[in-house]
Amino acid sequence: MQIIVGFGNKLRGEDAFGVDVISKLQKLNLPSVKLISTFQLTPELSLELQEATQIIFIDAAYCEQEKYRLGCIIEERNKSLLSHHISIKTMMAILENLYEITPNFEVFSMLTNSFDKITNEEEYEKCLDKVVIFIEEQLSKLNC
């Protein structure tokens, strides 16, 4: 099963990118796809990901110079053991170590340095639409 996980905080401007993509995808008819919208990645999420053969993670990623560009960013955000938030790498390690599964995964990140507000609504919407269209096209190829 393909699972798409969008994460971010709707109260923090462009940090909501992942959950906003999921909101748009929920309006489409995507058979055999599980959509998950979450505030942050947590160990408990691994329970919902056990059935995945492929996972797409969608998030906003901090970048000082670039804004409204899409990239594939996998970096540790918080190295503190006190945080409940975990990284994509850690999530994949949990799936492998606890459940002995290694699904393929992709990451779509919108680069931004604004986590207080959406600074350019038009550009933000363009990024949302690009990811939604790409995912739709990829899924239609798989269902041919």
Domain ranges of the chain: 2-143
- b/e burial code for range 102-115 (CB count within 10 A of at least 16 → b): ebebebbbbbbebe
Q: Is the pLDDT of residue 86 over 70?
A: yes
Q: Nearest-CA neighbor of 109 among 66, 58, 75? A: 58
Q: Is the pLDDT of residue 79 over 50?
A: no
Task: Give the amino acid at 45.
Answer: L
Query: Is the pTM here over 0.75, yes or no?
Result: yes
Fold of domain 2-143: Rossmann fold (3.40.50)
Q: What is the pLDDT of residues 98-123, one digit of tens each?
A: 999 999 999 999 999 888 899 999 99
Rg (CA), the chain: 15
